[in-house]
């Protein structure tokens, strides 16, 4: 009998990684599907030669520069001459400081001006007529990510949701039978089945959210949300055998995060409106950091918490969202306001404030995000190198005058000599328990890493690896990293460069944060104490992750397109 039980346990443990891989694969497979085929939205026909130029994007730069979306080979045309963009109301053209000017039907345009089909646009010595896209008949190539997609429809969203729900229920049941669970039986109100209550609540949240998304908001796609619900659920279920209360808190915070997610998508629906809010958001973010600096609570060496009655929040997590708002911008603004001064100052304030708090991990995330945004905006290597040099110099100065900062990292790559002191205590245990878990894990609730401080947040990769196995942990990590692939693949289909930039940056932030988390806990990088996106326990963290996800979701034109048709 015992042998039969053991065989069952081993078989189930081996199934778990396979199941994880199937779910993650399905999430990404669905993302590739249901995409409108590559075609010209409108086209520009040269009135002299009759040559038709397809207009592929929602925002198109027109100029002499070869990198322009529509390159015009004419010496009278400026490098970045104007921007042709699509909005809900139709097509517009905006001059972006050209020397010779842009004309619609003979009159010069300065601000954004609407153009209608058959209107004549004059740029330099050229004249173009705006025509409907279906007049363009040539084949257009898709990017590799979307080419060769079979015609078979992707897995239906609800089926994917059932798979995910079953996975979480499986985790709940496994937690019920964890080692030592028998000893709980002496209680009248058996806590053996506690994990199932949380699991039930989790499943309820998942399906309510799914229902709202598909019926109330009428969204056509649900794949990114599926993936992140899957990750969030794993995070919650990892907590049930550690601390029931924090599992519940995590679930509630995740629900708040989903609301934030929907609200943010609504808020950024109109990319032109965001420009007006930029300054307010910037001031609010700096204010938050200032409050944090003044009233910050010191935990684990960094003062990045503030206490509000019964809840503690980590303002820096919310500033991440603000940061992307400030950094991203629409194409016509991008071309007229090339300078980054405002953004650079804002970045320096953020990174400086975080460094003052001693939260080097988050400071690093901001700095890296700064590099990404400034490069994606300007394409300027000089800015990149300048920023890196500046940061290097700043780091040297800090280490010179505050040598104790270095002490925090002294155990790096030497954790086995520091297993009993603060320098390597956590990392050594993370590695030991990753190894103890093997490829298939010891089962939910059977781990030992859960007794180590911060195992549910900073060391959660180790906890996941120990209890669910190394394969699952690595698969989850790769799934989060693949969000970037997705963000990048929707870049050119976004309704504005605002979405493209913000989606890439949000995905970049998540990848950087996850890398710091995994590699910090496993002693490949110094331990900086940042969270694993969606999995780590921490209310502020999970809300901000869902907030960042909103940018990726918004970049996909499917998110809004259907609603427009229904109006």
Partner 1 sequence: MKRTLQRSWLIFILVIAFLVGMAFLVVETVLGASDWVDQPYNGHIAGAGGLLEAGVISDRNENVLAQTVDNKRVYNDDADVRKALLHVVGDDSLNISTAIQSQFRSQLTGYSFIWGLNLPDSFRGGKDVDLTVDADTCKTAYNALKEYDSGACVIYNYETGEIICDVSTKTYDPADPPEITKDNEDEYEGVYLDNVLSSTYTPGSIFKIVTAAAAIENIPDIWDRTWTCNGKEEIDGGDVTCVEAHGTMNLKEAFGHSCNIVFAELAVELGEDVMTETAEKMGINASFKISGIKTKAGNYDVSKATTHQLAWSGVGQYEDKVNPMQMAILCGAIARKGTPVIPYLVEGTSGSMLKDMGLAGSASNGEKMLDSGTAKKLKELMRFAVQNDYGDDMFGGLTVCAKTGTGETLISEGSDKNDGWMVGFAADKDVPLAFACVVRGTSDYGYSTAGQVAKAAMIQAAESLRNQDDD
Reduced to 3 states (helix: H, G, I; strand: E, B; else coil), residue 289 is helix
Site string for partner 1, 393-422 (x = CB under 8 A): --------------------------x---
Q: Which is nearer to partner 1, 85 or 253 (CB)?
A: 85
Binding of residue 555 to partner 1 (CB under 8 A): no
Q: Whole-number minimum distance, CB 26 to partner 1, in Å?
A: 21
Site string for partner 1, 515-534 (x = CB under 8 A): x--xx--x-xx---------
Binding of residue 295 to partner 1 (CB under 8 A): no
Residue of 314, 500, 531, 540 that binds partner 1 (CB under 8 A): 500
Cα angle for residues 24, 238, 313 (degrees, 5° grid): 100
- Site for partner 1, residues 451 to 480, rule: CB under 8 A: 451, 466, 470, 474, 477-478
Instruction: Report how many residues bind partner 1 under the rule CB under 8 A.
Output: 69
Residue of 132, 149, 136 lying closest to 36 (CA atoms): 149
Residue of 527, 487, 476 lying closest to 227 (CA atoms): 476
Q: Are strands 70-71 and 59-63 parallel, antiparallel or unpaired?
A: parallel
Q: Whole-number minimum distance, CB 492 to partner 1, in Å?
A: 5
- With contacts defined by CB under 8 A, name the span among 150-158, 239-247, 250-258, 439-447 that binds partner 1: 439-447
Binding of residue 214 to partner 1 (CB under 8 A): no
Looking at residue 297, what DSSP letter applies?
E
CA-based torsion, 105, 108, 114, 115: positive or negative? positive
Residue of 428, 463, 535, 542 that binds partner 1 (CB under 8 A): 428
Q: Whole-number minimum distance, CB 442 to partner 1, in Å?
A: 4
Residue of 206, 308, 323 lying closest to 257 (CA atoms): 206
Q: Whole-number minimum distance, CB 159 to partner 1, in Å?
A: 29
Cα angle for residues 334, 338, 343 (degrees, 5° grid): 85
End-to-end alpha carbon distance in the chain = 64
Residue of 410, 406, 439, 424 lying closest to 521 (CA atoms): 424
Integer Cα distance of 206 and 213 in angstroms: 11
Phi-psi bin for 50: left (phi > 0), alpha (psi -120 to 50), beta?
left
Looking at residue 138, what DSSP letter applies?
S
Element holding 131 (H helix, E strand): strand 126-132
Q: Which is nearer to partner 1, 60 or 540 (CB)?
A: 60
Torsion of CA 63, 69, 72, 76, to 10 degrees: 0
- Other Cβ atoms within 10 Å of 515 Cβ, number: 18
Residue of 104, 387, 504, 530 that binds partner 1 (CB under 8 A): 504
Binding of residue 433 to partner 1 (CB under 8 A): yes
Binding of residue 67 to partner 1 (CB under 8 A): yes
8 Å CB contact between 363 and 405: no
Binding of residue 96 to partner 1 (CB under 8 A): no
Residue of 511, 527, 543, 549 that binds partner 1 (CB under 8 A): 511
Binding of residue 372 to partner 1 (CB under 8 A): yes
- Site for partner 1, residues 2 to 31, rule: CB under 8 A: 2-3, 5-6, 9-10
Q: Which is nearer to partner 1, 361 or 437 (CB)?
A: 437
Binding of residue 442 to partner 1 (CB under 8 A): yes
Residue of 40, 42, 43, 57 that binds partner 1 (CB under 8 A): 57
Integer Cα distance of 444 and 434 in angstroms: 14
- With contacts defined by CB under 8 A, name the span among 33-41, 124-132, 164-172, 487-495 that binds partner 1: 487-495
Q: Which is nearer to partner 1, 32 or 79 (CB)?
A: 79
Q: Whole-number minimum distance, CB 416 to partner 1, in Å?
A: 8
SS (H, E, C) 29-70: HHHHCCCCCCCCCEEEEECCCCCEEEECCCEEEEECCCCCCE
Q: Whole-number minimum distance, CB 493 to partner 1, in Å?
A: 9
Binding site for partner 1 (CB under 8 A): 2-3, 5-6, 9-10, 56-61, 67-69, 331, 368, 371-372, 375-376, 379, 419, 428-429, 431-443, 446, 448, 451, 466, 470, 474, 477-478, 481, 484-485, 488, 491-492, 494, 497, 500-501, 504-505, 507-508, 511-512, 514-515, 518-519, 522, 524-525
């Amino acid at each position: 009998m015992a042998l039969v039980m053991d065989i069952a346990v081993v078989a189930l443990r081996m199934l778990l990684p396979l199941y994880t891989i199937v779910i993650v694969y399905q999430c990404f497979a669905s993302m590739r599907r249901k995409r409108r085929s590559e075609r010209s939205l409108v086209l520009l026909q040269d009135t002299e030669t009759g040559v038709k130029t397809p207009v592929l994007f929602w925002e198109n730069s027109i100029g002499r520069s070869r990198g322009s979306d529509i390159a015009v080979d004419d010496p009278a045309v400026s490098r970045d001459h104007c921007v042709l963009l699509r909005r809900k109301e139709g097509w517009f053209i905006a001059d972006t400081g050209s020397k010779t000017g842009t004309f619609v039907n003979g009159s010069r345009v300065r601000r954004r001006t609407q153009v209608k089909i058959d209107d004549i646009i004059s740029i330099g010595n050229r004249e173009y007529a705006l025509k409907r896209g279906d007049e363009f008949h040539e084949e257009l190539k898709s990017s590799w990510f979307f080419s060769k997609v079979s015609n078979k429809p992707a897995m239906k969203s609800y089926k994917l949701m059932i798979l995910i729900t079953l996975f979480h229920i499986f985790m709940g049941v496994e937690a019920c039978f964890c080692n030592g669970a028998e000893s709980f039986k002496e209680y009248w109100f058996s806590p053996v089945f506690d994990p199932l209550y949380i699991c039930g609540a989790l499943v309820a949240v998942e399906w309510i959210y799914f229902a709202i998304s598909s019926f109330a908001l009428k969204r056509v796609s649900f794949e990114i949300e599926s993936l992140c619900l899957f990750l969030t659920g794993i995070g919650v279920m990892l907590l049930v055998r550690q601390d029931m209360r924090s599992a519940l808190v995590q679930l509630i915070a995740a629900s708040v995060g989903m609301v934030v997610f929907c609200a943010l998508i609504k808020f950024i629906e109109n990319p032109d409106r965001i420009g007006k809010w930029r300054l307010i958001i910037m001031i609010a973010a700096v204010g938050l950091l200032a409050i944090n600096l003044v009233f910050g609570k010191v935990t684990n060496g960094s003062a990045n918490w503030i206490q509000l009655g019964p809840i503690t929040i980590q303002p820096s997590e919310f500033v991440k969202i603000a940061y992307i708002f400030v950094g991203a911008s629409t194409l016509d603004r991008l071309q007229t306001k090339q300078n980054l001064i405002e953004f650079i100052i804002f970045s320096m304030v953020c990174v400086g404030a975080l460094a003052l708090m001693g939260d080097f991990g988050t400071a690093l995330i901001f700095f890296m995000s700064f590099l990404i945004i400034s490069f994606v905006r300007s394409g300027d290597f000089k800015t990149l190198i300048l920023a890196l040099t500046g940061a290097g110099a700043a780091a040297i100065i800090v280490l010179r005058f505050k040598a104790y900062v270095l002490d925090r990292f002294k155990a790096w790559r030497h954790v086995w000599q520091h297993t009993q002191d603060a320098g390597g205590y956590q990392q050594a245990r993370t590695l030991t328990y990753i190894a103890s878990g093997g490829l298939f894990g010891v089962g939910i609730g059977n781990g030992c890493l859960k007794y180590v401080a911060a195992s549910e947040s900073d060391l959660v990769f180790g906890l996941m690896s120990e209890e669910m196995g190394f394969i699952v942990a690595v698969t989850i990590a790769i799934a989060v990293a693949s969000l970037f692939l997705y963000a990048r693949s929707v870049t050119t289909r976004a309704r504005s460069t605002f979405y493209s930039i913000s989606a890439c940056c949000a995905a970049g932030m998540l990848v950087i944060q996850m890398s710091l988390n995994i590699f910090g806990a496993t002693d490949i990088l110094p331990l900086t104490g940042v969270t694993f996106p969606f999995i780590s326990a921490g209310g502020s963290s999970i809300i901000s992750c869902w907030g960042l996800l909103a940018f990726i979701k918004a970049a996909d034109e499917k998110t809004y397109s259907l609603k427009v048709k229904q109006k």
